[in-house]
Every structure is written in C-alpha cells, then in structure tokens.
Structure 1
Amino acid sequence: MKKSIINTIVILSITSLLVSGCSKAATTTEDIPLVRSETVKINSSGQSANYSGEVRGRYETQLAFQVSGKIIKRNVDLGSKVSPGDVLMEIDAKDIQQNVNISSAQVSSAQSQLQLAAANLERYRTLFEQGAISRAQLDQYQNNYEVAQSAVRQSAAQYTQGSNQLGYSTLVADSGGVVSSISVEAGQVVSAGQAVLTLVKDGEREIEINVPENRVDELRKTEQIQVVFWALPNVTVQGNIREISPIADKVSRTYKVRISLVNPPADINLGMTANVMIVQAGGQPVTYIPLSAIYQTGDIPHVWVIVNEAVTLRPIKVGAFGDNKVQVLEGLQDGDVIVTAGVQKLHEGEKVRI
C-alpha cells in the first residue's frame, strides 16, 4: 500500500512539472508582442507622389436655354455623340409664339400710322406752299411723320427680338462632342441661363487631379509627369501641367490640377481612371512610410527596424508630410522591415512576431 501511495505521488509530481512547463512556454509565447510591419521600398527614380485622376475633355461647355420655359423634348442621352447643329432639347414655345404674333401686329399697325402720317404731311406741305397754313402747322405734321417712322423701327425691332427668342426655344449643339451630364428631364420648367447639360467637345483630352495644399509648390517644380491608366496597363503617357486652380475647393480643401497629355493613344476615353506619378528626375532616392511608424525621442525621429525577429531603434531624416505619410530622406535601406503600429510599447532588442 505504501508503494502504491509513493507511485501516485511521483505521477502527480511529474504531471505538475509538465503542466508548469507548458504554462511557462505559453506565457513566454504570449509575452512576445505581435506587431504590424512594412517592407521599405526605396524609389531610386525620385518619384515623390501619386495622384488618382480622371480623363476629362480639354473643353467642357455647360449648355443652357436663353429663354425660360417647360422642356417638352430631350433628344440626347448621357454619352450621346452629337454633331454641330443637332437639336438637343426643345422648350414649349406657345407663349413665345404669341409674343411674336403680337409684335407682328404692332409692326402692321405702326406701318399704317406711318402711311397716314406721310399722306397728311404731303397734303399740308401743299397747303403751306399755297400759303393756306402757317409754318408751325407744317412742322407739327412733319413731327408726326418722324414719330411714325420711329414707331415702325421700334415695332420691327421687337418683332426681330421675339423671332430670335422663338429660335432660342431649341437648344442646338454649337460643336461636335459627347454629352457628359444631363441635369434636367422633359416636363421640367427651367429658367434662362440654367445649365441643362454638359457637352465635352471633340479633341484634346487631359487628366484632372486634386492636390493638397502642401504639395502644390512641389508640383509646380516637378520635372517629369507620367500617367498610367487602370484600363490600359501597358500604356504610359508623358504629361505636362496645363493649369492649377488658384482657389482651393471649399469642401476638400484641395486644388484642381489639369494635366495635358503628350501624344495620347486613341484608346483613351472620357471618364477613365488614371494614376499620375510625379517624378523628380535626378533627385535623391526617397521612400514614404506611415506616420504611425515614427517613434519620436527628443528632436530626432526614429523607427523600429526588425532584425532577426528583434527590434532596434534607428534614427531617420524626414522630409515632406501629407496623406498620413512622411517622406524619409535618410536612415532606411531598401528591404528594411519596420514596425508601423504599436511603436510606443517596444524597447530595444525586444523579440517581436510579425
């Protein structure tokens, strides 16, 4: 019996030691922190920024009616190709036609008054020559004749104006292009000058991007711009800055920039997604890392570099900030693995899990 008790104690002791060893191993594993990392890629070409953009037309015109009224017909759809002289929309011209009819009647009335004034002037001129009336009476009929002439010119001008407005009831394309947007539908009442559609004229295509305010000066000084297209992966086009908006957008606080394309291929269509790469030719190699990777100690920024599953603190020299990233000018090599999250909880030489 004593031997059985001794065996039981030995077994329990061994079991306790095994459990204790496992617990320590688990604790040791749990003490090694799990970190988020990123591999550094040095851009030797000097590329400083990428911007997503959209293919737009060089000339985009917002078309509008010159008169108010109710739209009764829309002859185009989004993406329709039009030629010069095509009728795009029509407005109900009933009221305008009535105004033209009124002006026409006024012209006829004024012409009748002019004929009467001319007859009276001729009659009283004869009487004046015979000495039957005074000079003052003749001047009065001369004045009536001149007033009638002016009334004819006025009514004729009003008739011409009304005829022009009747022509304005149809919206006609002044050039060939593509309809890129339509903001009204048939049955809607529009006012004069209200934009109803946008026509992108045929011809030059360019890229529109939005640039944050801290990158505008850098963009002005760039030496080379390369444009690639998501739908055309094997196509790279050189670009030039055509214009930079002088005023920031009220919502996004970014500046619109138009990039003209040098010898673009025919496959580029409106609305395509483009990636604009700003390249500083001859510049020093740089890279961009997340702001969360910076570990600040005093005035010198550092990053945690993972070497042999352990972290070591390395000082770096930073450049421009923007888009939640920071430009690193010195301190990192191509292929370095850095910690990008939880940098404040690490210490020198600590083992980490990626």
Structure 2
Amino acid sequence: MRNNFDPIFIVIAVLGICLLLSGCAKTTTAATEAPLVRTKVVQLTGGGESASYSGEVRGRYESQLAFQVGGKIIGRKVELGSIVKPGDILLEIDPQDIKETVAIHSAQVYSAESQLELAKNDLNRYRKLYEDHAISRAQLDQYQNAYDVAVAAVRQASAQYSQGVNQLDYSKLVADKPGVISAIAAETGQVVSAGQPVITLVQDGEREIEIHVPENRIEELRKAQQIKVSFWALPGLVTAGEVREISPIADKVSRTFKVRIHLTNPSPEIKLGMTASVQVVDQQNQKNAYIPLSALYQTDNTPGVWAVTNGSVHLRPVQIGAFGDNQVQVLAGLQDGDVIVTAGIHKLQEGQTVRLAGDAP
C-alpha cells in the first residue's frame, strides 16, 4: 500500500490555508482602518474668576535701615511691631572711638588756626616793609603764599572736624519716616559694619499684597480686568486691587515671579502680615474649556485637537491659555458639545474613521 498523498488533496489543503490567511488579513486591515479611541465631550464655561493666589499683606515702602559707621551695638530701643516716629532712636553703637577721632580733629583745627594767625601777622609786617621798600616783591610773595597755605589748612581741618561730628551722630540709628518695625537683624553686643541692614521699617500709608505667579500666568495677570482680594482673618471683607509691579526676574528656587498688588481702597482693619487671597478675573469674560493635556496635538507652532465628526477625525486648531493639573485651557476653537480624542492622537490621520470608546474619566 502506498503512503503518498493524492495530489488533489494537497491542492485543496493549500487553497484552504490561503483563504484562511486572506480572511485574517482583511480583519486586521479593517481593525487598522477604524481604531478604537477614547473621547471627551467639550463643555464650555463662562470666563469669570480664572486663578487664585495666596499672598501676604506688605507695606508699599519698606526701608532697610543701616548704620553709616561700623561698631559694637550697645543699645536697642525698639521691638518687633514697635510704632516709631521720625527722629526716634532705634539702635546705638559704641561712640568711644568716634569721640576720640573728633577730639583729634578738634585739636587739628586749633593748630591750623594758630598757624593761620601767625601767617597773617607775618604777612602784615612784611607788607609794611615792602611799602617802605625794605624788602623785595619776591620776599612778600613768600609770606603771601604761607598765609594762603594756612587758610587752606584751617579749611581742611574744619572739614575733618565736621565729618567726625557727623560720624558721632551716625552712632545712633534714627527713624527718618513714621512706620512700624517689621524685622530686626542685629542684637546688643553684635559688631556691625557700615551699610549692613539691621532694621526693616515699613512706612505708614499704602498697603499691598505680595504674591508669586508662575510664568505661564504672567500675561493673564497683566490683562486682568478685575482683581479681588480677600483675607483669611477678615471673613466677608473683599477689596479691589490692581497690579503695580511685576518682577522681571524669576525666583531662583521656585521659578515664580514676584508680583505686588496695590489695594485701591484698603480697610483700616487690614494689618501687616495678614494672609490674603487674590482672585484674578479674565479680561474679556469669554467662555472657555479645560481639556486633558493628552488631547493637545502640536503641528509646527499651531496647537490643535482631533475632533470627531460623523465617525471620522479632523484636526482643529485651537487657542490655548493656562496649564495646570494635567489640563490645558482652550480659549477659542471649540464649541460646546464637541467630541475630541483624548488618547492615541499621534496615530491618527486627517479624515480617518474611528470607533468611539466613550468619554475619558
């Protein structure tokens, strides 16, 4: 009996395998042409309040006060929170060395004045001798020059004495404006150098809120139509504010920009150091939407999203705003109820048919 298969059966088997492989290929192609995508329905909301920042009540003018001479601090007249007036003494340093210097300059003044008096008398005597033709003009000029030098020496010694007296006055740190002491950086017994800040004085008057804003919110803050400020310690109190100053340099650690918000009509209840909340209102009060970052598709410099229409996707350019919490604000380009793709966007092509898996969570 022969073990070889009949050629007819072999041909039939080959045809069957080919048909099976062809069916699999068609199934794979169909699946490729209509991928399953996750979507989200766009919901537009009104503009209104767009951001909130925590801040602290600060003074409009904060002066870092320092001694104009160096020395050892021997007295402190103020405490944190002390209210001071112009002329009040804040700190004192040991003036003993300065007094000695003043005494030296005072003695130099007396010496220079004595030399001046002698030069003046000599000049008068030799001027009479010159008038009597007893001496030459050259000899008179010598005494005239000696007198001029003595006058200059008196001026120099007097200036040094005045400088020493001023330094003696500088041994007392005096408030130049009315205000409140907000910081003290030196204590009794400490040796400080000239120009070293030792006291912070917050001047009376305007109050501001200091906040720190990320770089992607700076332009939004510049264009804010309305800024509202509330206070944790003063429930129910809300006051208007306006941007006065934006730092041009970001903080090296937090990479945020310091912003000062001027209070247009502050209440007397607002005290330095209070915690404040600053709400920024959109300028145009336009409707916008927040979509997942995964839905944003970038082509060149134009951001866009894949919108699903009648079962196919189309790339739609959008105008974006603020970023945060894995979301991006869309200011223009979408309508309420639009369906957009939120996952797998980089595998899609214009006009491609897709299958919807439902809204993203």
TM-score range, shorter chain: 0.7 to 0.9
Question: Is residue 223–residue 283 contact of structure 2 (8 Å, CA) maintained in 1?
Answer: no
String of CA shifts for 1:99-126, please: whole Å, max 9, x gaps.
1000000000001001111111111112
Partner of 2:23: none
The residue aligned with 2:136 is 134
Alignment of 1:169-188 (within 5 A): 169-188=171-190
On the 8 A contact 2:70/2:192 being kept in 1, the answer is yes
Give the secondary structure class of the aligned counterpart of 1:218.
helix
- Equivalent pair of 1:288/1:325 in contact (CA under 8 Å): no
Change (3 A) 1:285 1:57: same
- 3-state secondary structure, aligned to 2:286: coil
- Alpha-carbon contact 2:43-2:336 (below 8 Å) kept: no
Q: 1:287 to 1:82 in 2, by over 3 A?
A: farther
Matched with 2:65 is 63
User: Could you tell me how far 1:41 is from its partner in structure 2?
Assistant: 11
Residues 205 and 260 in structure 1, CA contact (< 8 A), matched pair in contact too: yes
TM score, norm. by length of structure 2: 0.72
Counterpart CA distance in 2 for 1:109 and 1:178 is 47
The 3-state SS of whatever aligns with 2:240 is strand
In structure 2, runs of 5+ residues without a counterpart are: 1-41, 299-303, 307-315, 338-355
* CA deviation vs aligned residue, 1:210-269 (integer Å, no higher than 9, x gap): 111111111111111111111112011111111111122222221111111121111100
Cα contact 1:318–1:326 (8 A) shared by 2: no
SS at match of 1:153: helix
Maintained 8 Å contact 1:318/1:327: no
- Alignment of 1:193 with 2:192, yes or no, is no
CA distance in 2, matches of 1:220, 1:109: 66
Secondary structure of 1:103 counterpart? helix
Pick the aligned partner of 1:143 from 140, 145, 170.
145
Q: Does residue 122 in structure 1 map to residue 121 in structure 2?
A: no
Structure 1 residue 320: Cα displacement: 3.1
Tell me if structure 1 keeps the 8 A contact 2:220–2:282.
no
In structure 1, the partner of 2:97 is 95
Match of 1:211 in 2: 213
1:321 Cα offset (Å):
4.2
**Pairs aligned (count):** 286
Structure 2 counterparts to residues 222-233 of structure 1, below 5 A:
222-233=224-235
How far 1:282 sits from its partner (Å)?
4.4
Residues 1:298 and 1:64: Cα distance change in structure 2 (over 3 Å):
closer
- Tell me the SS of whatever aligns to 1:78: coil
Identity of aligned residues (%): 59
Equivalence for 1:313:
none
1:284: Cα distance to partner?
2.9
8 A Cα contact 2:293 2:328, kept in partner: no
Partners in 1 of 2:296 and 2:284 — Cα distance? 32
In the superposition, the TM-score normalised over structure 1's length comes to 0.73
SS state of the match for residue 151, structure 2? helix
| Counterpart-to-counterpart distance in 1, 2:43 and 2:66 | 51
RMSD after superposition: 2.9
Match of 2:327 in 1: 326
Q: Which residue of 2 aligns with 1:202?
A: 204
What is the match of residue 80 of structure 1?
A: 82
SS at match of 1:156: helix
Q: Which residue number in structure 1 is paired with residue 256 of structure 2? A: 254
